[in-house]
């Protein structure tokens, strides 16, 4: 029988909260669900779940993201740990927060019905339960800082995208317009995009060429000390 080394220590819960972000129609969206149980049942919440005994933190986050989106192997990073004593009115719960960037075209819309969830424009998110608004604010700050130095935005786009789509994404992240000429000059000088032969003609007769992000080329540049900068 395994000895109980920590039997005299207090026990509490560990959970994960996931900010699932998507991009469509030139806007960033956050996936929000109605909480299914008390306390605060029926109120707006981030996606989340408790860490199971047989899971690592990354496995818990992957499980939660998959349960709510139907997508596996998405880009995820940790935001931080939230452990204020009264943050959860039900029990003492320490939460590890992560953000996930998904290509929204692969999202399973039926899961919105299953989880009573919806996509909410990022700048129109209202009151969330517990400290979830604080987690959201911290995530936005991290995302903006990292987007300036790493090509995180490509995780929110389809495999093929146009330069106007890419610029709209970064404008949505920073919540400010970017100069078209300077943006294109900088992004093309990095030489991490592959121009395609076909065009998107949904917005004009002339159309805009599609591009693909070349992660292998970007990784090689990193090895040489290159610094992504917008």
Ranges in the chain annotated CATH 3.90.79.10: 13-147
| Helix/strand/coil for 196 | strand
CB–CB of 64/49 below 8 Å? yes
Tokens 């998405």 belong to which residue? 74
Measured distance CA(55)–CA(34) in Å, rounded: 25
Nearest to 146 by CA among 21, 63, 230, 80: 230
Question: According to the CATH classification, is domain 13-147 in 3.40.50.280?
Answer: no
User: Residue with structure tokens 């919440």?
Assistant: 45
Lowest mean pLDDT among 28-32, 100-104, 144-148: 144-148
Q: How many CA atoms lie within 13 A of 108 on its CB side?
A: 13
148, two tokens: 């300036």
How far does CA 35 lie from the centroid of its chain? 20
33-53 tens-digit pLDDT: 999 999 999 999 999 999 999
For residue 203, pLDDT over 80 is answered with no
Assess contact for 22 and 29: CB atoms under 8 A.
Answer: yes
Q: How confident is the model at residue 5 (pLDDT cuts 50, 70, 90)?
A: confident
pLDDT tens per residue across span 90-100 = 999 999 999 99
The larger pLDDT score, comparing residue 57 to residue 151, is at 57
* pTM of the complete model: 0.91
Nearest to 40 by CA among 92, 97, 88: 88
Q: Are 228 and 190 in contact (CB under 8 A)?
A: yes
* Nearest one of 143, 124, 139, 37 to 88, comparing CA atoms: 37
The pairing of strands 93-101 and 13-24 is: parallel
Tell me the H-state helices in the chain. Answer: 57-69, 110-115, 132-147, 163-174, 180-189, 215-223
Out of 3.30.750.200, 3.30.420.10, 1.10.10.10, 3.40.47.10, which CATH number does the structure's domain 156-223 have? 1.10.10.10
Positions of CATH 1.10.10.10 in the chain: 156-223
């Amino acid at each position: 029988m395994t000895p109980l080394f920590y039997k005299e220590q207090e026990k509490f819960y560990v959970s994960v909260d996931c900010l699932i972000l998507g991009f469509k129609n030139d806007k960033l969206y956050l996936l929000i669900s109605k909480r299914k149980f008390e306390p605060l049942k029926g109120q707006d919440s981030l996606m989340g779940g408790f860490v199971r005994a047989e899971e690592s933190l990354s496995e818990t986050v992957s499980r939660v993201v998959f349960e709510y989106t139907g997508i596996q192997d998405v880009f995820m990073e940790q935001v931080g740990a939230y452990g204020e004593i009264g943050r959860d009115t039900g029990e003492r719960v320490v939460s590890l927060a992560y953000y996930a960037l998904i290509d929204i075209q692969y999202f399973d819309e039926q899961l919105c019905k299953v989880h009573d969830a919806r996509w909410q424009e990022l700048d129109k998110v209202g009151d969330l339960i517990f400290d979830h608004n604080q987690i959201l604010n911290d995530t936005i700050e991290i995302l903006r800082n990292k987007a300036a130095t790493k090509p995180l935005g490509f995780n929110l786009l389809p495999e093929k995208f146009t330069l106007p789509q890419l610029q709209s994404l970064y404008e949505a992240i920073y919540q400010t317009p970017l100069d078209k000429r300077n943006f294109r000059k900088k992004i093309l000088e990095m030489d991490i995009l592959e121009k395609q032969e076909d065009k998107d003609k949904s917005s004009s007769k002339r159309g805009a060429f599609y591009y693909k992000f070349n992660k292998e080329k970007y990784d090689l540049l990193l090895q040489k000390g290159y610094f992504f900068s917008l």
